[in-house]
């Protein structure tokens, strides 16, 4: 698979005639590549409708609890590391905040020049607004098995709900 960003200088893409790809367009490309990769690894895909959802993609397969995945794009910095912004914005981009527990299960960060993803569990990045990934120091990218491990772990440790009665709804008989 070729690098769809194809950034000659880290900013301008020749495929767009030298125009800068917007952050939104980069996100769309990263999400599409993630979905393709997940399908190759035998996941069923669900995409929440609209922007500003806590998870960009929901993965499922028989026997495991669905996984919420937030997809981001890493930015290569001079040190050779990647910086991934992991915060949830609000309308107008003001008051961005860290994601909260149960917003998603896995962060998938796309590394454009490597055309690979690196994965973190939510617990790995809890309450942080940026994470750094250095290929020389950290786990190898492309560890799709992490998704299987997280799904199995969450399925096995999920809440027991079989004995919980449904909520009682009382209807008024008078108007």
Phi-psi region of 88 (alpha: psi -120 to 50; beta: other; left: phi over 0): beta
pTM listed for this prediction:
0.76
Please report which helix (H) or strand (E) contains residue 70, including its range.
Answer: strand 67-73
Q: What's the chain's average pLDDT?
A: 79
Query: 23-152, which class in CATH?
Result: alpha beta
Pairing of strands 87-88, 130-133: unpaired
Q: What is the DSSP letter of 39?
A: H
Structure confidence by residue, pLDDT tens digits, 83-126: 999 887 655 556 777 888 888 999 999 999 889 999 999 988 88
User: How is the chain split into domains, by residue range?
Assistant: 23-152
Structure confidence by residue, pLDDT tens digits, 17-65: 666 788 888 889 999 999 999 999 999 999 988 767 789 999 999 888 8
Question: 């607004």: which residue's tokens?
Answer: 129
């Amino acid at each position: 698979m070729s690098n769809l960003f194809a950034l000659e200088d880290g900013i301008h893409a020749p495929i767009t005639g030298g125009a800068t790809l917007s952050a939104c367009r980069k996100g769309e490309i990263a999400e599409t590549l993630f979905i393709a990769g997940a399908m190759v690894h035998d996941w069923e895909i669900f995409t929440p409708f609209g922007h500003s959802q806590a998870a960009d993609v929901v993965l499922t397969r028989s026997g495991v609890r669905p996984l919420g995945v937030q997809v981001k794009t890493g930015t290569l910095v001079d040190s050779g590391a990647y910086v991934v912004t992991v915060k949830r914005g609000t309308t107008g981009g003001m008051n961005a905040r860290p994601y909260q527990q149960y917003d998603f299960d896995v962060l998938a960060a796309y590394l454009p020049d490597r055309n690979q993803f690196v994965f973190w569990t939510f617990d790995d990045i809890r309450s942080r607004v940026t994470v750094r990934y250095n290929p020389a120091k950290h786990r190898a990218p492309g560890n799709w098995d992490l998704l299987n491990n997280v799904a199995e772990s969450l399925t096995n440790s999920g809440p027991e709900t079989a004995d919980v009665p449904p909520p009682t709804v009382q209807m008024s008989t008078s108007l």
